[in-house]
Amino acid sequence: MDERQREQERVDKVVQEIEQKVEDIQEKAGDVKEEVIGLRETFWEDVTVNIDEPDDIMETYNSLRQQAELLGERERSHKHVYDQLKTLKRMKSSPYFGRVDFTEARSQETDQVYIGISSLMDRQDENFLVYDWRAPISSLYYDYSPGPAEYDTPEGTIEGTMDVKRQYIIRQGEIKGMFDTGVTIGDELLQEVLGNQANTQMKSIVATIQKEQNQIIRYDQRPFLVVQGVAGSGKTSAALQRVAYLLYRYRTKITADQMMLFSPNPMFNSYVANVLPELGEENIAQTTFQEYMEDRLQTRLQYEDAYDQLEYLLTAERNETYETRLEGVQYKATLQFKEDVDHYADSLAKKGLAFKNIKFRGEIIVSKEEIENHFYTLDPFISIPNRLEEVVNWLLSEIEAMEKRERSKEWVEEEIELLGKEEYLKIHQKLQAGYRGNAETFDDAVLEQKLLSKAIVKKYTKPIKRKIHDLQFLNMKTIYKSLFQSRTGLSKEAANQTTDQLEHGTLFYEDVTPFLYLEDLIKGTHIYNHIRYLFIDEAQDYSPFQFAFLKKLFPYSRMTVLGDYNQAIYAHTLHAPNLLSEDLYEANRAEYLTLLRSYRSTRQIIEFTKQLIPGGESIQPFNREGVMPLLVSTATQEEHQHSLIKELYRLGEKKYETIAIICKTAEESQKAYDVLVSKDIPVRLMDKDTYTFTKGIIVIPVYLAKGIEFDAVLLHDASDENYQFQLDRHLFYTACTRAMHELSLLTLGEPSRFIREISTDYYKYK
């Protein structure tokens, strides 16, 4: 019997074990499910309900709690069983992907360690048939070639010798490929994975994790892990495997709801949503900075988002206010501006806070001047947030005093008379339930009228009290606007531009973070103290100010920061550091890792794109062959449209599942989409409100394509007119690096200077 036959026999045995375990668990799952259904159906029958006396209420509460806990425990058991079944069914097709034979030092016995997406024990639960890829011993597979090797465990380092390192491609329980390899996961397996077509969702990469990616996944020393990774280097995939690894390593200490991912846009969230469930883990909370902004600002102020700001900066270069706006964008991103805000906030302890009148039925009941006087008569050594708490208590007492005065007024009597029968009964029942006197006394008409008056007034003051609790009596727009009348590093023109914008009730995007930061200094910081691990993707687009803000929001969190400085597409990144810059981190608090090997694109595409950026020569292409990028230059709009459609048909014949027409702006995307629709070409337009990524032909602005890959990319207008400035270079590079298999560059007029800088050895004309 040859080696492959022996290996296939082992696969067959493991598959049999999996089938038996599935059968056993399904039987158990049925019992647990029936128990859960039974508990739900009989929930109230098994609860003692009695609310006549205080002791009875307590007994009822305890009975409810016990029954709810029992149901919760059974539901958790059912979920655990269901998750086990999902994992086993995935493993049945491909039980494992790797093997290492390891002999510990001072031991004669060699262990054969098979590695898969999850651990699997034999039927007696005595021996491991498969080890989870996150287990300490599995790191041997990712970090070493045959020879001396070691791995870390909680008890210490285990040293020894690796005799064999083998990889498998197993599909539907059959070995399709098997080969021994060195330290790098073999090209055969990578070729099989990378040569496939792009999917609408990112896949798990545990079978092809490289040594440098494994460093990211298993690192857990300094609080900040900063990863600079070139386009297509697998940094996002590695980060998600890192989440899975941490949940496995610290499974008794950390849960998925103690982790959070900041991603570039909602569509990206849908793109990566399948990775963790594929590994048998729950998804962690995913958000974008834009969604955080929306949640904080809600309808209090109109505000520009990051994409609108970018659209302006990419299309308004000839606008006379452009340079002033650019100055504001860049300065407000800096830590120097944060210092300006800090100094201004300190000054507000003595004077300058602005308030709003509190009105009831159109009349001022507490004026903004009265609130200001009350605030500034409080002890100045008490912090602003604590003084505001005192103001809240004072205002609530003022409202309560006003309520008593209002109860006897004519409008209250009219409101009672206008009550519908249903509303009257509702209030009446609430009063009965809340009244502690006897029923006869309550039936007294005078008392009933008095209690109804009280209820009516409370109904109208309730929203006022809620706004007081939310500190909405502060006039934050005026307070922020006054910042620009104090001393800042902005020119007078930029400061005036900001205040003019605020006069119209709108915040520039570059003002959103400073506004929220100032609001937190005044009201008290919103913090997410339950988050222990924060992941920030596309970190090159965050400013130093935004990073300082995030550190205040997540004070107890370790951070994994990932990005590529060559894809920094926002104007504030042109002259300022970003989250990948070492000077933003305290000494010995951050670890810096670099990924230089790109796996997404063919060698020909990478050899072309690496010429577009400074330092590109250090990028290492994975050796997957393909066709050279294609340049199609046209002179007229009609020729350009014709070449676009012709290229789409050519690529369509190759059966590519995802073809992206990437444009510089949303405006260009809309025009391209309209042309294609008029020619009856099935196409979908992606904009900032698109939440799902689908197969087919899509038109998309480059800033929304970040982090996503496509089988083929058509750069809609790669002309010099469209791509010529420093910021354009990063956009151009980002667009080109989205392509996995083919890249076509269409130009209306002279090709971009970025193309002309590259030797024609790296692309072909058509």
Does the annotation flag 116 for ligand binding? no
Does the annotation flag 235 for ligand binding? yes
Q: Is 434 exposed, middle or buried (0-12, 13-18, 19+ CB in 10 A)?
A: exposed
Given a contact cutoff of 8 angstroms between Cβ atoms, the answer to whether 434 and 316 are in contact is: no
Task: Spell out a b/e string for 580-596, using b for 16 or more CB atoms within 10 Å of the CB, else e.
Answer: bbeebbeeeebbebebe
Number of H helices, E strands in the chain: 27, 26
CA atoms of 339 and 2, how far apart (whole Å): 71
| Cα-to-chain-centroid distance, residue 510 | 20
Closest by CA to 670, choosing from 680, 682, 685, is 685
Does the annotation flag 666 for ligand binding? no
CA distances from 283 to 82, 237, 269 (A): 16, 14, 11
Closest by CA to 556, choosing from 294, 232, 258, is 258
| Cα-to-chain-centroid distance, residue 683 | 27
Provide CB contacts within 8 A for 578, sequence distance 6+: 539, 540, 541, 542, 543, 544, 563, 565, 568, 584
CA atoms of 733 and 744, how far apart (whole Å): 13
Does the annotation flag 230 for ligand binding? yes
CA distances from 255 to 68, 243, 244, 401, 533 (A): 22, 10, 10, 48, 10
224, two tokens: 């900040």
Given a contact cutoff of 8 angstroms between Cβ atoms, the answer to whether 121 and 127 are in contact is: yes
CA atoms of 324 and 494, how far apart (whole Å): 5
Q: For residue 595, give the H/E element and its range.
A: strand 590-595
Closest by CA to 596, choosing from 570, 629, 618, 571, is 618
Q: For residue 168, give the H/E element and its range.
A: strand 156-171
- Region class of 78: left (phi > 0), else alpha (psi between -120 and 50), else beta: alpha
Closest by CA to 597, choosing from 581, 570, 579, 619, is 619
Q: What is the DSSP letter of 162?
A: E
Q: For residue 330, give the H/E element and its range.
A: helix 322-331
Q: What is the DSSP letter of 59?
A: H
Does the annotation flag 232 for ligand binding? yes
Does the annotation flag 36 for ligand binding? no
Does the annotation flag 11 for ligand binding? no
Does the annotation flag 231 for ligand binding? yes
**Distance from first CA to last CA of the chain, Å, rounded?**
55
Pair type for strands 120-121 and 128-132? antiparallel
CA atoms of 203 and 274, how far apart (whole Å): 7
Pair type for strands 98-104 and 156-171? antiparallel
Considering only the C-alpha atoms of the chain, give the largest distance between any 2 of them, rounded to a whole number of Å.
101
CA atoms of 484 and 492, how far apart (whole Å): 9
Closest by CA to 226, choosing from 572, 578, 599, is 578
Q: For residue 422, give the H/E element and its range.
A: helix 421-434
- Binding site, annotated residues: 229-236
Known binding residues for ATP: 229-236
